[in-house]
């Protein structure tokens, strides 16, 4: 299989540094094992700011949701926070009143261990739904994680939030703005149960820029709309999906109105990089797939068509089998609810035209065999009906996806 460049091209307006949430100044992190996971792997992380930080967040729209989602929504509304505590291996979702008490205690214990103000910690849990957290283990884990916080702990935190992920997901950028240079860092997790619709994926972001809560929330929502809300692995929206961001101002550089575009572009790129990493690491995935729809009557129609193609089991299994069965792609677009005129559409896969003006293009056998022999696939569908466009990232479906999810609980 041909290997392709796994890093999206970054604009010239910022530098990509490959670090994590501790790259921005004034942040520390840690990851420990406290016995939530049967595997004995790291399962609890803390990200902490040295000073109170502006906070923003985008949370799952699933009506069945974990207690941490509701708690975070209330605390984000306050405008400031100072820490995020995350456990993996147990979602603490649909666990009733006890689960809510445990979610609150998770935050309270973190605040106490770090000597932080009340209600200044946010919480997140991921893993199996419907089981209570082993709080005795969690209490000990929080104390240990608090003691191990360091400026080099970002990768430990990235490892500790993983569930079925095969690889850690982390990245950071440095952005020059009018008053100086600021940094943004990220860690993420996600592999299955992925179609955030935000509003089992997490992304935690930090920045040492000084920025108001309203501006940060607006920029984060835009970034999420163009990244995680354009991501699907299997069409399932988790009970716990969230993106949280802390801005502590430790750089001493404020983001003025003239800097919002540049800062927002870097933030969006960073979120897109994390979204693509999640799609590439989809459970059992062998290919990162980018579906690009253009020429739709509206951006909503383009998104509708792209999401339907990306979620089609028939499309995803054909990609795994490296079968250029393009009929499945146009059929998915046709049933998406988007306006489609079959005699006007164009379709290309990995730059190779398969349909032009509604007419199939006959490929040589060798070209057909090699077309999908790559770890990254682009599907370009032009409906030629308007100016609407959208991009969605997904992955293929392999035998391992079934195996992983059939045996997830056991």
What are the distances in angstroms from CA 401 to CA 221, 286, 324, 369? 30, 10, 21, 24
Burial class (CB in 10 A: 0-12, 13-18, 19+), 299: middle
Q: Which two tokens stand for residue 242?
A: 């969230």
Contact present, 297 and 329 (Cβ < 8 Å):
no
Active site residues: 200
Q: What angle, rounded to 10 degrees, do the helices at 260-280 and 213-225 form?
A: 40
**With contact defined as beta carbons under 8 Å apart, do 126 and 200 qualify?**
yes
Look up residue 45 and give its two tokens.
Answer: 């992380």
CB 31 within 8 A of CB 156: yes
């Amino acid at each position: 299989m041909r290997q392709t460049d796994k890093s999206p091209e970054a604009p010239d307006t910022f530098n990509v540094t490959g670090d994590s949430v501790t790259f921005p100044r004034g942040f520390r992190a840690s990851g420990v094992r406290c016995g939530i996971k049967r595997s004995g792997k790291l399962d609890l992380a803390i990200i902490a700011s040295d000073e109170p930080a502006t906070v923003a967040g985008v949370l799952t729209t699933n009506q069945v949701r974990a207690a941490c989602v509701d708690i975070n929504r209330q605390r984000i509304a306050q405008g400031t926070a100072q820490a995020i505590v995350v456990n993996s291996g147990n979602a603490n979702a649909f666990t009733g009143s006890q689960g809510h008490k445990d979610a609150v205690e998770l935050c309270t214990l973190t605040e106490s261990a770090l000597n932080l103000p009340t209600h200044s910690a946010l919480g997140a849990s991921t893993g199996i739904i419907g089981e209570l957290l082993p709080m005795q283990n969690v209490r000990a884990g929080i104390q240990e994680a608090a003691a191990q916080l360091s400026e080099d702990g970002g990768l430990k935190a990235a490892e500790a939030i993983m569930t079925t992920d095969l690889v850690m997901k982390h990245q950071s950028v440095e952005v020059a703005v009018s008053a100086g240079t600021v940094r943004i860092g990220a860690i993420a997790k996600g592999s299955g149960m992925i179609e955030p619709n935000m509003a089992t994926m997490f992304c935690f972001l930090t920045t040492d820029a000084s920025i108001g809560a309203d501006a940060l929330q607006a920029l984060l929502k835009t970034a999420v709309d163009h990244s995680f809300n354009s991501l699907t692995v299997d069409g399932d929206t988790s009970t716990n999906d969230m993106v949280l961001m802390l801005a502590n101002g430790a750089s001493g550089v404020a983001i003025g109105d003239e800097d919002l575009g540049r800062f927002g572009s870097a933030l969006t790129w960073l979120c897109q990089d994390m979204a693509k990493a999640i799609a590439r690491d989809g459970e059992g995935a062998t290919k990162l797939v980018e579906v690009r729809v253009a020429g739709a009557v509206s951006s909503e129609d383009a998104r509708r068509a792209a999401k339907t193609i990306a979620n089609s089991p028939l499309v995803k299994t054909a990609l795994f089998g490296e079968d250029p069965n393009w009929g499945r792609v146009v059929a998915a677009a046709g049933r998406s609810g988007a306006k489609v005129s079959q005699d006007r559409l164009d379709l290309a896969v990995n730059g190779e035209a398969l349909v032009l003006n509604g007419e199939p293009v006959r490929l040589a056998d060798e070209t057909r065999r090699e077309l999908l022999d790559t770890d990254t696939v682009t599907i370009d569908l032009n409906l030629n009906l308007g100016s609407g466009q959208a991009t969605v990232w997904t992955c293929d479906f392999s035998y391992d996806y079934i195996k992983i999810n059939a045996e997830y609980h056991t």
